[in-house]
């Protein structure tokens, strides 16, 4: 890897470095920049937006996330104090308050600033890859635009699947000379007066719960996957259907605490899963007015004003049925339907229910670890004595979007104070 010349120079009083370009990182960056501070925003994916941009709707207002993110992306574009680096993974943070050094690995996009996102290169590419933006529910070509609202609005090449210079068909079809298949990874060290870790969250690996069938049964999906299925720009065009055959659904089961509050998986509550499930019942009801929706739960936890959201959605809908009990297994029977096997908490009885789709409300866990950043036993960022290095949003604990934005705004203020604003 090449190293950016001069990048290791130590410059006390440098910019605020924000690690993670999801809703928390974007909020921290724009708030600090609009207060007059130089900010470098680092994101390891080829686009900003994190998990939020993959949502269909927020709760409790049930509005799409694109409007809020569009405003924030406009704030970034209009503010020259924010420098954005995508495909940038932080490997280490060293130093002390007012004088940090942030080590970064920059992966090659292999598509430069001349790209107009015209899409002419895509049909020319002969290779397909799993579409990670859509949780592998579909595919893209090896050169692709991550999503319609991607920032930066540029294509990217997946080095794991691209055939490289032995193919180069995309190069021939690009009229703007925007593709550089020879671009190499780089490393750099950035000076920082303060470092804000906003690395967000990732869904718990549902394949680890073999009894629930994920990865083995196509009609078992996770909550994040259902968000993409419900989204109009998603892999099914907003249709919620059985992945195995594209058939409509008449009965769906939600399995709460899938991997959460379990000593064998995640011992903590992820706090938002119940509200997310209640939100997703509205998606199904819109598309299937007569469908039965069954929610298997340990406890329903909808804190604060979200309790009103829970009551509003469930109280008047007789086809949303809640079952207090732990799901023991999900299997497929000869007819092709799934069968959910659960134990009722109150009676101890075994219940079996045939359904068309199972949705696992998987827990939230931290997305990544950075060397020398302090974490607790679950991988969440912990406070530091120096106060110049700290986490915001879901890097600190599982929280919803509103709480993430509030915490990130406070984080911007803390960074400004720590950096000597």
What's the 3-state SS for the chain?
A: CEECCCCCCCCCCCCEEEECCCHHHHHHHHHHHHCCCCEEEEECCCCCCCCHHHCCCCCCCCCCCHHHHHHHHHHHHHCCCEEEEECEEEEEEEEECCEEEEEEEECCCCECCCCCCCCCHHHHCCCEEECHHHCCCCEEECEECCCCCCCCCCCEECCCCCCHHHCCHHHHHCCCCCECCCCCCEEEEEEECEEEECCCEEECCHHHCHHHCCCCCCCEEEHHHHHHHHCCCCCCCCCCCCCCCCCCCCEEEEEEEECCCCCCCCCCCCCCHHHHHHHHHHHHHHHCCCCEEEEEECCCCCCCCHHHHHHHHHCCCCCEEEEEEEEEEEEECCCCCEEEEEEECCCCCEEEEEECEEEEEECEEECCCCECCCECCCCCECCCCCCCEEECHHHCCCCCHHHHHHHHHHHHHHHHHHCCC
Residue given tokens 């280490």 in the structure block: 92
User: Under 8 Å CB-to-CB from 370, ≥6 apart: which residues?
Assistant: 19, 90, 91, 92, 93, 197, 199
Co-location of 19 and 30 in the same domain: yes
Co-location of 244 and 355 in the same domain: yes
Domain of residue 193, CATH code: 3.50.50.60
Co-location of 218 and 334 in the same domain: yes
Co-location of 265 and 345 in the same domain: yes
Co-location of 377 and 337 in the same domain: no
* Predicted pLDDT at 1: 45
Q: What is the pTM of this model?
A: 0.93
* Predicted pLDDT at 301: 87
Co-location of 305 and 390 in the same domain: no
Co-location of 315 and 262 in the same domain: yes
Structurally, the chain folds into a number of domains equal to 2
Last residue of a domain, one of 349, 364, 379: 364
Co-location of 90 and 227 in the same domain: no
- Quote the domain boundaries for residue 45: 9-107+185-200+367-418
Residue 163 lies in a domain: no
* Predicted pLDDT at 356: 97
Written as tens digits, the pLDDT of the chain (421 aa) is 444 433 434 434 689 999 999 999 999 999 999 999 999 999 999 999 999 999 999 888 888 988 889 999 999 999 999 999 999 999 999 998 899 999 999 999 999 999 999 999 999 999 999 999 999 999 999 999 999 999 999 999 999 999 999 999 999 999 999 999 999 999 999 999 999 999 999 999 999 999 999 999 999 999 999 999 999 999 999 999 999 999 999 999 999 999 999 999 999 999 999 999 999 999 999 999 999 999 999 998 887 777 888 888 888 789 999 999 999 999 998 888 999 999 988 888 899 999 999 999 999 999 989 999 999 999 999 987 667 999 999 999 999 999 999 999 999 999 999 988 6
Co-location of 220 and 341 in the same domain: yes
* Predicted pLDDT at 102: 97
């Amino acid at each position: 890897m090449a190293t950016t010349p001069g990048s290791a120079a130590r410059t006390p009083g440098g910019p605020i470095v924000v690690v993670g370009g999801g809703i928390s990182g974007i909020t921290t960056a724009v708030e600090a920049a609009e207060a007059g501070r130089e900010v470098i925003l680092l994101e390891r994916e080829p686009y900003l937006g994190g998990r939020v941009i993959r949502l269909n709707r927020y709760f409790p207002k049930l509005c799409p996330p694109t409007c809020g993110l569009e405003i924030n992306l406009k704030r970034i574009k209009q503010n020259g104090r924010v420098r954005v680096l995508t495909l940038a993974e932080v490997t280490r943070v060293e130093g002390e308050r007012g004088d940090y050094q942030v080590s970064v690995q920059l992966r090659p996009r292999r598509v430069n600033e001349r790209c107009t996102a015209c899409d002419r290169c895509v049909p020319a590419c002969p290779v397909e890859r799993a579409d990670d933006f859509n949780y592998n529910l579909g595919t893209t070509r090896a050169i692709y635009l991550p999503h319609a609202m991607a920032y930066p609005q540029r294509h990217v090449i997946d080095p794991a699947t691209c055939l490289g210079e032995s193919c180069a068909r995309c190069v021939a079809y690009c009229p703007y000379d925007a593709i550089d298949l020879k671009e190499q990874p780089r490393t750099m060290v950035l000076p920082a007066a303060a470092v804000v870790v906003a690395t967000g969250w990732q869904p718990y690996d549902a394949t680890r719960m073999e009894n629930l069938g994920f990865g083995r049964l196509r009609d078992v999906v996770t909550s994040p996957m259902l968000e993409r299925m419900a989204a109009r720009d998603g892999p099914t065009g907003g249709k919620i259907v059985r992945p195995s055959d594209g058939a409509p659904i008449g009965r769906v089961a939600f399995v709460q605490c899938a991997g959460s509050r379990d000593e064998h998986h995640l011992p903590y509550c992820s706090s938002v899963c119940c509200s997310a499930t209640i939100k997703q019942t509205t998606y199904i009801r819109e598309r299937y007015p007569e469908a039965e929706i069954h929610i298997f739960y340990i406890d329903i936890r909808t804190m604060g004003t979200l309790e009103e959201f829970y009551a509003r959605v469930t109280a008047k809908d007789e086809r949303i049925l809640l079952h207090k009990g732990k799901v023991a297994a999900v299997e497929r029977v000869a007819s092709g339907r799934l069968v959910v096997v659960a134990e009722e908490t109150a009676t101890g009885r075994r219940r079996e229910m045939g359904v068309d789709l199972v949705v696992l409300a998987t827990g939230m866990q931290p997305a990544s670890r950075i060397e020398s950043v302090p974490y607790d036993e679950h991988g969440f960022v912990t406070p530091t004595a120096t106060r110049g290095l700290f986490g915001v949003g879901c890097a600190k604990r599982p929280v919803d979007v509103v709480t993430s934005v509030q915490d990130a705004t406070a984080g911007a203020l803390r960074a400004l104070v720590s950096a000597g604003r």
